[in-house]
Amino acid sequence: MIQFTIEKPKDEIRPYLQEKIDNLTKPKGSLGALEDLAMHVGWIQQTLSPRLNHPCHIVFAGDHGIAAEGVSPSPQEVTYQMIANFWNGGAGINFLARQHHFDLRVVDSGVNFDFKPGDPIIDKKIRKSTRNYLHEAAMTREEMELAIERGAECAQACFNDGCNIISFGEMGITNTSSSSLWMTYLTGIPLDKCIGAGCDHTGNIIGHKYNVLKKSMENYSGDASTEDIMRWFGGYEMVMAVGAMLKAAELKMIILIDGFIMTNCLLAASKLYPEVMSYCIFGHQGDEAGHKLVLEYINVRPILNLALRLGEGTGALCAYPIVDSAVRMINEMNSFKQIQVTKYF
């Protein structure tokens, strides 16, 4: 499998960042989480004057064989139909990308559809849908490794275009089921605490979903390593997101983490390379059951809690202006040394 070199940022700059933040014209600590975010971004970039350049958002799309078991009320064709909606600019992620000036890229990781030459999609397709993990592994080891490589290529392309802050989203009917299985295996949290309604706002399907996923676990015959859990129960779009996160961290980019599915992708990435966590900012706590628990498991505090559960990366983009405010704070506020204001703390 492709190897990454991810280095934790050096801590020597921290006291200098703290000194700069503390001497801005405000009471010490009075800008709360903005000060923490400014510290984090400056630490990642190893500078007292951090910058956010050319923000990019990648939506990885793929279909799942488990959809045949009726674990989602939405038919599989919704995946490619929503991709057309992304192209037309009418999805949730589109208005947020426009609002916050993100370069939005849509990637075919494994959609069960034949796109036409010239369609505005990045072709990284592994296969038309994963296999049904109720009966067999969702993907082969070789497919999983290829998905990691292709996800890394997508992050590298953004970096090459001048991006230093990146976020990821997903489109794939039933991928909350796959995420729930990754979560229970990688955290030890019981399955019933990990699953939620997904796109079923009524919650009527949860019982059936639980039974199918429990049976899938009973039928699992792998070695329970992180790589094996990823390939057995994952989606191509999820594994590509893991590869993209790892490459982004290797390139020392800031990674904005979205909701339940992307948090579980980051969980898997961190099991392979713990240092990836240093580069992550968590955008929000979503309304999908299990998201709060996985955030607590990795011991992080997200910026927002807006009861979102759309996916696509919408929560990450909603959080972006808060990160932007933190960077503007450290760069644009005067210090007490610059102006004639007596320190008042």
Write the pLDDT tens digit of every residue in 79-131: 999 999 999 999 999 999 999 999 999 999 999 999 999 999 999 999 999 99
| pLDDT band at 149; cut points 50, 70, 90 | very high
> Which tens digits make up the pLDDT trace of 8-63?
999 999 999 999 999 999 999 999 999 999 999 999 999 999 999 999 999 999 99
Residue 288 three-state SS: coil
Nearest of 231, 316, 245, 238 to residue 275 by alpha carbon? 245
Tell me: pLDDT of 184 over 90: yes
So what's the pLDDT on residue 199? 54
End-to-end Cα separation, the chain, in angstroms = 53
So what's the pLDDT on residue 339? 81
> Which tens digits make up the pLDDT trace of 204-223?
678 999 999 999 999 999 99
* C-alpha span between 307 and 268 (Å, rounded): 24
Mean pLDDT of 265-283: 98
pTM for the whole thing? 0.96
Residue 34 phi/psi, 5-degree rounding, is: -65, -35
* C-alpha span between 175 and 162 (Å, rounded): 31
Among 3.40.50.10210, 3.60.20.10, 3.30.230.10, 3.30.565.10, what is the CATH number of 56-323?
A: 3.40.50.10210
Mean pLDDT of 321-326: 98
Mean pLDDT of the chain: 95
Q: Higher-confidence residue: 2 or 203? A: 2
Across the chain, the runs of DSSP E, i.e. the strands, are 56-62, 103-110, 122-123, 165-171, 254-257, 280-282
So what's the pLDDT on residue 338? 83
Tell me: pLDDT of 290 over 70: yes
Q: Where in the sequence numbering do the catalytic residues fall? A: 312
Q: Which ranges of 161-219 does DSSP label H, i.e. alpha helix?
A: 175-187, 191-194, 206-219
Q: Higher-confidence residue: 320 or 340? A: 320
